[in-house]
Chains A and B, each alone.
Chain A
Amino acid sequence: MLQVENTLFTIVMISYFVAMIAYFIYVASKKDIVSKVAFGIQVFGFVLHTVAIVCRGIGAGRLPLTNQYEFATSFAWGLCLLSLVFIIRFRFYVMGAFISPVVFLMIGYAAMQSREVRELMPALRSNWLGFHVSTAIIAYGAFGVSFVVGIIFLLRDRLKAHGFLDQHIPDKEKLDLIEYRSVAPGILFLTFTIITGAIWAERAWGSYWSWDPKETWSLVTWIIYATYLHLRIRRGYKGKSAAVFAVIGFICVLFTYVGVNTLLPGVHSYK
């Protein structure tokens, strides 16, 4: 089963890469039909990705959410899922050209990690692990979408010269709304992640909050998005300022995931 997962993973990586190129061709060629092709390839990759993760779970005999590789591939999966949802919901195919490189980079990061299946240390053998990590995947995916929409928002004026993009990218008000719609599930699921993590930590380590770097950075991320939500209901701060916070927020997400794991030792650095 793990061999199947390995093969599928390679096909998924190729699919995401081809989808990214197809989205670029769509923007360059300005032909709407290409966007459907790119979207179709992305959906194909996503379906195979889902099967690959299921195979990994069956092969490992547990939830495949416990090491750097498993979380990275799940992160890419969550990002792909949320991007598909938002592309369909808002018929915003141009977003694919912006988010597919992020998905590809994340799956590329997963490919660089060890795929070895190791038995779990006692602290990781908890039902809370599933809730904690799966909610993080959805939260991070949603924040990834808000990051991309935030970038598009900040570039919106410069893209006016590009007639095709100007026509196919929603106006700033709509972009702000899409960004908010992606931050909303993000912060909700991040709150779930933090609370389930705290419950798990209390049972495993005897302390629900220890200012571990991962905990601290997830709090920083939460604060950034809480600030985002507050900014949006203040006149003059909605729009650009909120978009800046959406971008900063996802940078914090990436640091919480990659930076903290590699730079700041703590109980989350399972070596």
Chain B
Amino acid sequence: MSAGKRFLRFISSMRFAIILLVILAIMCSIGSLVTQNQSYSWYAARYSERTAALIIALHLDDAFHSWYFILITAFLCINLLFCNIIRLPGLVKRTRNGGTLRERLGIWGAWITHVGVLLLILGFGLGQFTHKEYVAYGVPGQTMAIGDTGLILTINDFRIDLRDDDTVEQYTSEITVYDIASGSSGKSASVSVNHPADIYGLRFYQNSTGWAARVTVDKGGEALQDTIVCAGDYLVVTDKPDLVIYFNAFYPDYVLVSGYGPATASGKLNNPGYLYSVYYQGQILGMNVLFSGEVLTIDDYSVHFSEPQSYTLIQIKKDSFTALAFTGGIIILIGLIVSLYVRPRKVTDKQTGGEDASS
């Protein structure tokens, strides 16, 4: 047998498949034990500098996108593909040779399962490389562009449905999406957790929520800026770009916990406290908490926080290959049912001559 044939036989063999599966299982286990997508300093603080260096060097910080993980998965695909191609003529021949429907169908189980796994990996892989993801957040009445899609999103309403015990039952955003190019009147939809909406080929998910507040900046007694800022966002003073106000966090029922810091006693607006930081030319000048009615004065500028309200965060996604991955999943299920329950009583592994009296 030529070296090429021997190689082909090996890469399509069950032995190679088992080796790859075991390696993949080990890689997945290790990847799950290391917190993913953190910085070197984060790993160094958690473990040690030596371990952190090892994690980064071995790409364990992003194990599931590392070159070797992709390589092993690619080898598995090649193995499945060649295995299926090589087995196909034999299966067709055995099917044509007759027998009961159960016998003719049953021998296809593993082949169908392999096709399903291939489609699933293909759909997932292609989706990883081609999917588009955007985030839009704001309070009702705000409008924002959705990345480079040419679409504009308006948040019409945002509701947080509470139960009697104040636990959250549902978050719902009412949105309208406009296509700038077509100049259409827009398409409206209701988006809530577990109930995404499909508009203009994009899928809109209710992702999360947080606090926002109206921030006004006066200069010499005259209104300079009046805008809604979400906690975690910056406000650049328009006529002095070196001066930046950072809205760190909001505490609806502010309390100062000894040994911990600012916290909220409840979700109710009993004692609203706005934690902010002031930066000038990139250097932090200070950090403090402002309460309702209080004014922060920086030279000629007066900053005032008010009207705390919930903002909604909408995740927007386009993944054209999700359907392919799910189709792969369904095919795997069909293949397993055929393989495990329709399969003939004796199956022989032709490469090894092994015999299975499994079903």
Give A177-221 as 1s and 0s: 1 = Cβ < 8 Å from B's Cβ atoms. Answer: 100100011011001101100111011111111010100110110
Cβ contacts under 8 Å, A185 to chain B: 340
B354 interface contact, C-beta 8 A: yes
Least Cβ–Cβ distance between A54 and chain B, in angstroms = 24
Give B336-359 as 1s and 0s: 1 = Cβ < 8 Å from A's Cβ atoms. Answer: 110011000001010011111111
Known A224-B25, A231-B18; judge A119-B167 contact (CB<8 A). Answer: yes
Task: Give the complex CA separation of A204 and B193 in angstroms.
Answer: 6
A240 interface contact, C-beta 8 A: no
Least Cβ–Cβ distance between A7 and chain B, in angstroms = 26
A162 interface contact, C-beta 8 A: no
Task: Give the complex CA separation of A175 and B203 in angstroms.
Answer: 50
Least Cβ–Cβ distance between A252 and chain B, in angstroms = 8
**Of A118, A204, A230, which is within 8 A of B14 by CB?**
A230
A271 interface contact, C-beta 8 A: no
Q: How many residues of A contact B (CB 8 A)?
A: 50
Least Cβ–Cβ distance between B31 and chain A, in angstroms = 7
Q: How many residues of B contact A (CB 8 A)?
A: 54
Q: Are A230 and B18 in contact (CB under 8 A)?
A: yes
Task: Give the complex CA separation of A226 and B194 in angstroms.
Answer: 31
Q: Are B352 and A192 in contact (CB under 8 A)?
A: no
With CB as the reference atom, state the residue of chain A lying closest to B349: A233
Cβ contacts under 8 Å, B15 to chain A: 234
B122 interface contact, C-beta 8 A: no
Q: Are A213 and B32 in contact (CB under 8 A)?
A: yes
Cβ contacts under 8 Å, A203 to chain B: 194-196, 205
Task: Give the complex CA separation of A232 and B31 in angstroms.
Answer: 28
Known A198-B326, A232-B356, A234-B352; judge A211-B169 contact (CB<8 A). Answer: no
Least Cβ–Cβ distance between B235 and chain A, in angstroms = 29
With CB as the reference atom, state the residue of chain A lying closest to B347: A233
Task: Give the complex CA separation of A199 and B28 in angstroms.
Answer: 21
Segment 217-269 of A: residues with Cβ below 8 Å from B: 217, 219-220, 223-224, 226-227, 230-238, 260, 264
Cross-chain pairs A/B with CB under 8 angstroms, 15 sampled: A119-B165, A121-B167, A122-B169, A122-B193, A126-B194, A173-B357, A180-B358, A191-B329, A192-B333, A204-B193, A216-B29, A220-B28, A226-B21, A233-B347, A233-B349
A residues near B, CB below 8 A? 118-119, 121-123, 125-126, 173, 177, 180, 184-185, 187-188, 191-192, 194-195, 198-200, 202-209, 211, 213, 216-217, 219-220, 223-224, 226-227, 230-238, 260, 264
- A-B interface, 8 closest residue pairs, ranked by CB to CB distance from nearest: A235-B354, A122-B193, A206-B205, A216-B32, A195-B329, A184-B340, A223-B25, A126-B194
Additional pairs, 5, CB under 8 Å, beyond known A119-B163, A191-B336: A125-B169, A185-B340, A206-B205, A231-B18, A233-B347
